[in-house]
């Protein structure tokens, strides 16, 4: 019968439709539904490990983490929530209102545990931990927080930690960074975030349709971040910060034989703990402060080197044989360059190279500079590591700037005049260097011929990096050049009329160069860049005071630092 066959066919069709439906759901979309099913019933409770510690060269802790406790709950039926919040409030002493507000604020979806209180005391955490036996929906989660035992010490080297911002997130997403991650800003925290960063572990638990805890499915232990050992010496760092404090500027101490930075202090500084404790007002104050306490002045700002630059001019003159030990110029308090009168800060009379460095005679260097020409000065400055970034390990390093006639022509479409050469010869004009560059340049004269690449990271995760650091590069000057300039630098301190004479009589022989940089507004910048002990240099020191007055002011600070170091037996 025809109709029976049609009906039979209809039945087969019905089962065909069902099979097709199965193929669609199970095979074609199976993985999607499996995922949906898992997200229905699996909750991940993250547990973070501790961020790596930051240590000084002797292994002493500069920054570590301390454990704080958070209270989370799995959102269940709302009536139960009120009851649980009430119990938590009673046991922990946190006001019920506070808990409720936190719950409402942090509630994201029924699938994610809600943080209702953070950073509670250990004692309360233990009490709540016992309550967990009755109410498995409660989670007490230890969370390591950044801890700064020395407050603001070395804050610019360390940086601070905060929630990741949008810009960083877009760049770092591919490396496993997520929204709300805590990442480093500035300093080692930022540059070495990838190593310092902890790996999150956690608990995966199964819950039912009401979010009620059923069982633990798995546990992945969190992993701590790698420790980073710096080349900083905590003792020297403390001394540097102590004598800098209150004055804008920076102090750098460096090992001239290796390029290790032993102390890097800046003022104004900041206490990174305000970012951990989320003191919104204090944070806003840091960002709005016109003195920019977040800026690492030692590497991120550049200033006119002033007389410190004369060291570069002198070595260029000696190397190119424009001057020698017997060359002398007469300082009458000024020199004529073309029709313009360029004055010296004093009347020095007849000056040879040694005394010109010692007295910081401008006239001697105007004349030397004019003999050399601007391009030569520029080239020799670059040989001494100025004018370009040092490739230092902290972020936001600036390269400084050494002008040249070529740059003037190509960039400004203007001619270079002899007056510009005279200005450049005493480190003024467009010339800019960072305090670290100044210290680095001085290291060449301290170790007689090697330009270091300064570094501050000694080891990462226990792996010593010093063998991998860039070797010191040879600066191919004549031996006599280093000897002559070295004598000049020593004379700055030892000569009774030397600009750095305040540093004499310390029990340790210091050599160096002062600088007083004219600025368009405000008081002059003060520089002292030198090394000690003179016979066997162990330290290069750079003291820079922004608007700090004459170079003498910097020399006084340098004296205090060296004195204190000497007293502690560090030299």
Partner 1 sequence: MRNSFLRVLLLALIISSLGILSIYSSTYQKEGAPWQDIYQRQILWVLIGLACFFIISQLNYRRLWDVNYFIYGAAIFFLLLVFALGIIRLGAQRWLRFAWFNFQPSEFAKLAVIIFMARYFSRKSVDDISLLSGKFGIFRGIILPFIFVAVPMLLIIEQPDLGSGLMLLLVFVSLLYLTNVRLKYIFTFIFILILPLPFFWHFLRDYQKQRLLVFLNPNIDPLGAGYTVIQSRIAIGSGGLFGRGWLSGTQSQLYFLPESHTDFIFATFSEQWGFLGSALLLLMYYLIIRQGFIIAQRTQDSFGRLLAYGISLLLALQVFINIAMNMGLAPVVGLPLPLMSYGGSSVLVTFIALGILVNIDRTRSVF
Stretch binding partner 1 (CB under 8 A), from 43-51, 181-189, 209-217, 525-533: 209-217
State the minimum distance, in angstroms, from the CB of residue 99 to partner 1.
Answer: 26
State the minimum distance, in angstroms, from the CB of residue 109 to partner 1.
Answer: 12
Sign of the torsion formed by the C-alpha atoms of 167, 172, 174 and 179: negative
State the minimum distance, in angstroms, from the CB of residue 12 to partner 1.
Answer: 8
For partner 1, the closer CB: 111 or 118 = 111
Residue from the set 9, 22, 121, 134 that interacts with partner 1 by CB under 8 A: 22
32 is a contact residue toward partner 1 (CB under 8 A): yes
Q: In sequence order, which residues have a C-beta less than 8 Å from that of residue 339 and are 6 or more positions away?
A: none
Structure token pair of residue 483:
């000897």
Which of 500, 509, 553, 546 lies closest to 531 in space, CA to CA? 509
Distance in angstroms (rounded) separating the CA atoms of residues 79 and 77? 6
State the minimum distance, in angstroms, from the CB of residue 463 to partner 1.
Answer: 44
Distance of CA 336 to the CA centre of its chain: 45
- Contacts with partner 1 by CB under 8 A: the residue count is 34
108 is a contact residue toward partner 1 (CB under 8 A): no
β-pair type (340-343, 160-163): unpaired
CB-CB contact of 254 with 443 (8 Å):
yes
State the minimum distance, in angstroms, from the CB of residue 216 to partner 1.
Answer: 14
Residue from the set 83, 123, 210, 474 that interacts with partner 1 by CB under 8 A: 210
Distance in angstroms (rounded) separating the CA atoms of residues 252 and 231? 12
Which of 147, 368, 177 lies closest to 275 in space, CA to CA? 147
State the minimum distance, in angstroms, from the CB of residue 17 to partner 1.
Answer: 7
Between the CA of residue 222 and those of 48, 200, 205, what are the distances in Å? 6, 5, 16
For partner 1, the closer CB: 100 or 212 = 212
State the minimum distance, in angstroms, from the CB of residue 28 to partner 1.
Answer: 9
350 is a contact residue toward partner 1 (CB under 8 A): no
Stretch binding partner 1 (CB under 8 A), from 4-12, 46-54, 185-193, 348-356: 4-12
State the minimum distance, in angstroms, from the CB of residue 37 to partner 1.
Answer: 4
Size of the chain, expressed as the number of residues it contains? 571
77 is a contact residue toward partner 1 (CB under 8 A): no
For partner 1, the closer CB: 16 or 505 = 16
| Interface mask toward partner 1 for 33-72; x: CB under 8 A | xx-xxx-xx-------------------------------
| Interface mask toward partner 1 for 127-156; x: CB under 8 A | ------------------------------
Residue from the set 9, 25, 170, 219 that interacts with partner 1 by CB under 8 A: 25
Question: Ramachandran region of residue 95, left (φ > 0), alpha (ψ -120 to 50) or beta?
Answer: beta
CB-CB contact of 157 with 231 (8 Å):
no
Stretch binding partner 1 (CB under 8 A), from 26-34, 399-407, 440-448, 497-505: 26-34
Residue from the set 9, 26, 93, 388 that interacts with partner 1 by CB under 8 A: 26
For partner 1, the closer CB: 18 or 96 = 18
For partner 1, the closer CB: 14 or 330 = 14
Distance in angstroms (rounded) separating the CA atoms of residues 537 and 357? 19
Structure token pair of residue 199:
């790996």
For partner 1, the closer CB: 211 or 272 = 211
95 is a contact residue toward partner 1 (CB under 8 A): no
State the minimum distance, in angstroms, from the CB of residue 72 to partner 1.
Answer: 21
| 69 bridge partner residues | 120, 142
30 is a contact residue toward partner 1 (CB under 8 A): yes
Residues 361, 362, 363, 364: what is their CA dihedral angle, to the nearest 10 degrees?
Answer: 60
State the minimum distance, in angstroms, from the CB of residue 6 to partner 1.
Answer: 8
29 is a contact residue toward partner 1 (CB under 8 A): yes
Phi and psi at residue 105, in whole multiples of 5°?
Answer: -70, -40
State the minimum distance, in angstroms, from the CB of residue 135 to partner 1.
Answer: 16
Distance in angstroms (rounded) separating the CA atoms of residues 266 and 249? 6
| Interface mask toward partner 1 for 213-242; x: CB under 8 A | -x----------------------------
Structure token pair of residue 82:
């009120």
Structure token pair of residue 9:
């066919």
Distance in angstroms (rounded) separating the CA atoms of residues 510 and 148? 34
CB-CB contact of 272 with 155 (8 Å):
yes
Residue from the set 58, 95, 119, 208 that interacts with partner 1 by CB under 8 A: 208
Residue from the set 64, 135, 181, 206 that interacts with partner 1 by CB under 8 A: 206
Number of Cβ atoms within 10 Å of the Cβ of 379: 17
CB-CB contact of 519 with 345 (8 Å):
no
SS3 of 200-248: the string is CEEEEEEECCCCCEEEEEEEECCECCCCEEECCCHHHHHHHHHHHCCCC
State the minimum distance, in angstroms, from the CB of residue 75 to partner 1.
Answer: 15
Which of 317, 308, 325, 314 lies closest to 530 in space, CA to CA? 308
Stretch binding partner 1 (CB under 8 A), from 30-38, 157-165, 295-303, 432-440: 30-38
For partner 1, the closer CB: 210 or 470 = 210
β-pair type (249-254, 539-545): antiparallel
For partner 1, the closer CB: 206 or 430 = 206
15 is a contact residue toward partner 1 (CB under 8 A): yes
209 is a contact residue toward partner 1 (CB under 8 A): yes
Distance in angstroms (rounded) separating the CA atoms of residues 329 and 342? 15
State the minimum distance, in angstroms, from the CB of residue 18 to partner 1.
Answer: 5
330 is a contact residue toward partner 1 (CB under 8 A): no
Stretch binding partner 1 (CB under 8 A), from 27-35, 195-203, 332-340, 499-507: 27-35
Q: What is the DSSP letter of 277?
A: T
Distance in angstroms (rounded) separating the CA atoms of residues 425 and 408? 16
Residues in contact with partner 1 by the rule CB under 8 A: 3-4, 7-8, 11-12, 14-15, 17-19, 21-23, 25-27, 29-34, 36-38, 40-41, 206-210, 214
């Amino acid at each position: 019968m025809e109709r029976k066959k049609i009906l039979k066919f209809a039945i087969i069709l019905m089962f065909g439709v069902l099979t097709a439906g199965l193929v669609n759901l199970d095979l074609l979309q199976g993985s999607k539904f499996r995922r949906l099913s898992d997200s229905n019933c699996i909750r991940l409770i993250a547990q973070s490990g501790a961020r790596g510690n930051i240590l000084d060269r002797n292994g002493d802790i500069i920054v570590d983490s301390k454990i704080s406790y958070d209270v989370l709950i799995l959102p269940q039926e709302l009536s139960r929530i009120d009851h649980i919040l009430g119990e938590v409030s009673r046991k922990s002493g946190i006001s019920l209102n506070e808990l409720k507000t936190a719950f409402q604020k942090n509630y994201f979806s029924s699938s994610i545990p809600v943080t209702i209180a953070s950073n509670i005391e250990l004692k309360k955490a233990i009490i709540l931990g016992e309550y967990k036996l009755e109410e498995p929906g409660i989670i007490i989660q230890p969370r390591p927080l950044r801890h700064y035992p020395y407050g603001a010490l070395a804050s610019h080297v360390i940086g601070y930690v905060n929630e990741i911002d949008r810009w960083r997130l877009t760049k770092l997403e591919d490396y496993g960074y997520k929204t709300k991650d805590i990442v480093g800003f500035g300093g080692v925290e930022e540059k070495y975030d990838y190593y310092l960063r902890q790996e999150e572990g956690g608990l995966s638990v199964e819950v039912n349709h009401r979010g009620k805890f059923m069982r633990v499915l798995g546990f992945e232990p969190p992993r701590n971040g790698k420790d980073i050992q710096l080349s900083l010496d905590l003792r020297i760092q403390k001394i540097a910060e102590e004598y800098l404090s209150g004055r804008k500027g920076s102090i750098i101490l460096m090992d001239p034989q290796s390029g290790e930075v032993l102390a890097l202090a800046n003022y104004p500084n900041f206490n990174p703990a305000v970012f951990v404790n989320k003191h919104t007002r204090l944070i806003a104050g840091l960002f709005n402060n016109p003195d920019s306490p977040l800026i690492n002045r030692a590497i991120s700002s550049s200033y006119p080197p002033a007389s410190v630059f004369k060291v570069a001019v002198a070595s260029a003159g000696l190397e190119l044989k424009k001057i020698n030990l017997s060359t002398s110029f007469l300082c009458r308090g000024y020199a004529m360059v073309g029709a313009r009168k360029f004055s010296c800060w004093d009347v020095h009379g007849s000056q040879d190279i040694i005394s010109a460095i010692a007295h910081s005679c401008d006239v001697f260097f105007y004349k030397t500079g004019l003999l050399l020409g601007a391009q030569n000065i520029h080239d020799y400055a670059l040989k001494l590591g100025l004018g370009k970034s040092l490739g230092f390990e902290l972020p936001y390093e600036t390269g400084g700037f050494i002008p040249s006639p070529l740059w003037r022509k190509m960039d400004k479409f203007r001619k270079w005049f002899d007056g510009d050469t005279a200005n450049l010869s005493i480190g003024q004009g467009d010339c800019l260097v960072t305090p670290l560059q100044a210290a680095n340049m001085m290291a060449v004269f301290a170790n007689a011929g090697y330009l270091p690449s300064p570094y501050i990271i000694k080891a990462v995760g226990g792996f010593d990096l010093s063998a991998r650091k860039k070797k010191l590069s040879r600066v191919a000057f004549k031996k006599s050049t280093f000897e002559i300039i070295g004598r000049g630098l020593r004379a700055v301190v030892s000569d009774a009329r030397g600009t750095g004479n305040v540093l004499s009589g310390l029990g340790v022989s210091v050599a160096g160069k002062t600088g007083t940089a004219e600025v368009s507004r405000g008081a002059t910048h003060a520089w002292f860049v030198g090394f000690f002990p003179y016979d066997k240099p162990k330290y290069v020191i750079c003291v820079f005071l922004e608007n700090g007055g004459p170079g003498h002011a910097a020399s006084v600070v340098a004296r205090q630092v060296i004195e204190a170091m000497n007293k502690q037996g560090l030299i």
